[in-house]
A and B are shown apart, each in its own frame.
Chain A
Amino acid sequence: MRYSPTTSKTKNAPLALNASYSRKKRLRANLTGYAFISPFVIGFLAFTFIPMLVSLYLSFTKYNLFADPVWIGTDNYVKMFTGDANYLNSVKVTFIYVFVGVPLRLAFALAVAMILNSKSRMVGFYRTIYYLPSIIGGSVAVSIMWRNIFSNEGIVNSALNLLGIPNVSWFGNPNASVFMLVTLSVWQFGSSMLIFLAGLKNISQEMYEAASVDGAGAVPKFFKITLPLLSSVVLFNMIMQTIGAFMTFVPAYIISKGEGGPLGGTMLYSLYLFRQAFMFSNMGYASAMAWIMLLFVGVLTGILFKTSKAWVFYESEGGR
């Protein structure tokens, strides 16, 4: 596209194609291109890349925002893994949240997508309805609503009371509270569902017809046709959702009123990072935490890509 102003001319004047002239032209064309992407590049450098470098530096310092940073080497990293039980707890809680929540959410999204893939008159309506929670999904309002639904006097407990079951303190139980966050995340399945739905539409009906002729039931069809042909979509969703889940902050912050309680049961990694940074003014430590998370998510994503060769099926590559 970026050569388009020049191509028409060069076509008509092949003699002008000497080396230096074309280099100049190309440079100008490139500069135009760079000018067009400069808003992103400048924004990326100023608001992402440079802050990242600063945060890398800060992670080796003790910094409370008031006094100048003091270089302390790898102390922050050492403390994280040897001297901070709360940190290890937040890692544990986050792992539960991610490794239970993401598969559940994907399974749920796929199930709903398959239901909505059927041909029915109301399907467009249902698609919209099921997608709604995701639009408002990560927002503060939903978290507050979730807290109210499961609060002591909330609608769930009131319903239980009607059935003669005493109140359950959903968010009050230190071991169960993280699963309340998981259910909230499962409920926000809409965006994965849409992607699954698009993937399902791409699977040719002929395969199913052929399988039916061979006498295959619904279950073999799912495992032999749907899942393999959808595996690339599964991979995409899995990576996006995993990264997103590691960074979950809002529901934990709202539901635990910023404290990650009870007993650190909802202390997700980002929440603990946030508390270290903005409540305890340990900016250096928080930066170190951010880098560990970055490295971990990077490595995990790398592993997912590596293993994907074994289970992801690309039709375009002839099944390799």
Chain B
Amino acid sequence: MKKAAGLITSAALVLSLLSGCGGKNDTASTNAGGDNKASGGDTPVTLRMSWWGSDARNEYTQQVIDLYEKEHTNVKIEVEYAAFDDYWKKLAPQAAANQLPDIMQMDISYISQYANNGQLEDLTSYAGSQINTADVAENVLSTGNVNDKLYGVPVGVNVLGFQYDPSMMEKAGISEIPKDWDWDTYQELAKKAGAAGIYFDSSMAPDIFFHYYLRTKGFSLYNAEGNALGYDDDKLFEDFFGMLVEMIKAKAVPTQDILTQTKGIVEENDIVKGKGIGMWQWSNQYVALQQAVNRPMELAPMPGPDMEKGLYMQPSMYFSIASSSKQKEEAAKFIDFWVNDVEANKLIMGERGVPISSKVKEALTPELSETAKQVFDFVTEMEPLSSPMSPPAPAGSSEVREMLGDYAEQMNFEQITPAEAAAKFRGEANAILANNQ
């Protein structure tokens, strides 16, 4: 009897893990919008919209929605938001239950998974009618394509670069970052900083920068079909990650145990503490970093050779419409408002990435803070130097990305050599990608 009681108790406790998660999602999906017909005009329409982001983003997004509701009195927009990780945990069960919000913020690493599962509406026919795309560059809009169909309208674009504090660089005895620098120059400068007791950077996010590196060599992290890795020569892996390991050995980059702890916490970065020069990241992250550092900072392009081949304009996020939505046209109208309305974008102020509409970008420029202007200028400068984006990450890529991160960690801790990691990564990544087909 006791045994049985123990079993049942533990069973209930263990399983409450799973049922607990499910329960939460149920409540999220019960406040689904009504079944209003999408005829526009004065018929009341209730749209559901969801996004991830910080408090600041939640606040101004609500203001944009208020503005829209004021202009379209028949439309009511219900909102759901969460932090990035939680957002996807909420969205997946909603997708399984066919209860996705009408408008949802989509990420580049998830869009193909949702699109291929038929969860998203093809927006090709909306672009140019409900959604005005006259002021949007073609290779920007096409970043929302999966299998040549537009499944997401990019909300803003970002570009990779090196964000640094020139005064710290001077302290390390480096006068400037040369134009058209390459990986050799980078290593030289970084080692110089390391010798001066200053960190040059805080390493590079493995998946993003290895992907960039592969692109400069004419490859990509995933192949076009999304069922295997996109490069064949493990030497590329060894060269890139070997370089990262060497930078740690040269004290140009903090050791992995420090990196693990400070990862994702801007305030703990070495630049903020006056011990480091810069950071490799997306342009939209510059504003937050500059605010934390609170000293004049600059943006430098990525190292080459062949930066033009590697660099791409990445949509910071998309707005997608659920294929199960009953008011797709109304949802599209709101996306149009977001993309093209100047007043709305004066609230947004490029927080979701540099606006894709050239008209909005122009109208916004005089209103921008000095820091935001730097980002706009940098993105504008990089746009002609970029190539079309590789296809969005395939299903299974989140697991591959985590695994690559694990191997990078192991290499940085010197528990595995880049050569061993290259071979293991290839085998395991290909297995995961093939398994997700």
Contact = CB atoms under 8 A, between A and B. Distances in A.
Interface of A: 44, 47-48, 51-52, 55, 64-67, 86, 151-153, 169, 171-174, 239, 243-244, 246-247, 249, 257-259, 261-264, 270, 273-275, 277-282, 286-287, 290, 293-294, 297-298, 301-302, 305
Contacts of B260: 169, 171-172, 261-262
Nearest to A306: B3
B21 to A, nearest CB: 7
Interface of B: 2-3, 6-7, 9-19, 21-23, 85, 88-89, 92-93, 95-96, 113-114, 117, 119, 255-264, 268, 273, 395-396, 398-399, 402, 405-406, 409-410, 413, 415, 436
Contacts of B413: 174, 262-263
Contacts, number: 131
Nearest to B119: A66
B18 A51 contact: yes
Contacts of B406: 86, 263-264
Given A48-B12, A169-B261, A172-B261, A278 B21 contact: yes
B95 A298 contact: no
Given A66-B95, A261-B409, A297 B14 contact: yes
Given A152-B262, A279-B398, A294 B11 contact: yes
Tell me the interface secondary structure of chain B in the complex: helix
Nearest to A86: B406
A63 to B, nearest CB: 9
Nearest to B262: A152
B93 A65 contact: yes
A262 B256 contact: yes
A91 B395 CA distance: 27
Given A153-B273, A247-B17, 9 more contacts: A55-B15, A64-B395, A66-B96, A66-B114, A86-B406, A169-B258, A262-B257, A290-B15, A302-B6
A293 B85 CA distance: 25
A52 B11 contact: yes
B402 A279 contact: yes
A152 B10 contact: no
Contacts of A171: 260-261
Contacts of B85: 258, 279
Contacts of B114: 66
A290 B264 contact: no
Nearest to A297: B10
8 contacts: A47-B19, A47-B23, A66-B92, A152-B261, A152-B268, A172-B255, A290-B14, A294-B11
A151 B268 contact: yes
Given A258-B85, A305-B6, A52 B15 contact: yes
A65 B268 contact: no
Contacts of B18: 51, 55, 277, 286-287, 290
B257 A173 contact: yes
A174 B260 CA distance: 10
A44 to B, nearest CB: 8
Contacts of B3: 301-302, 305
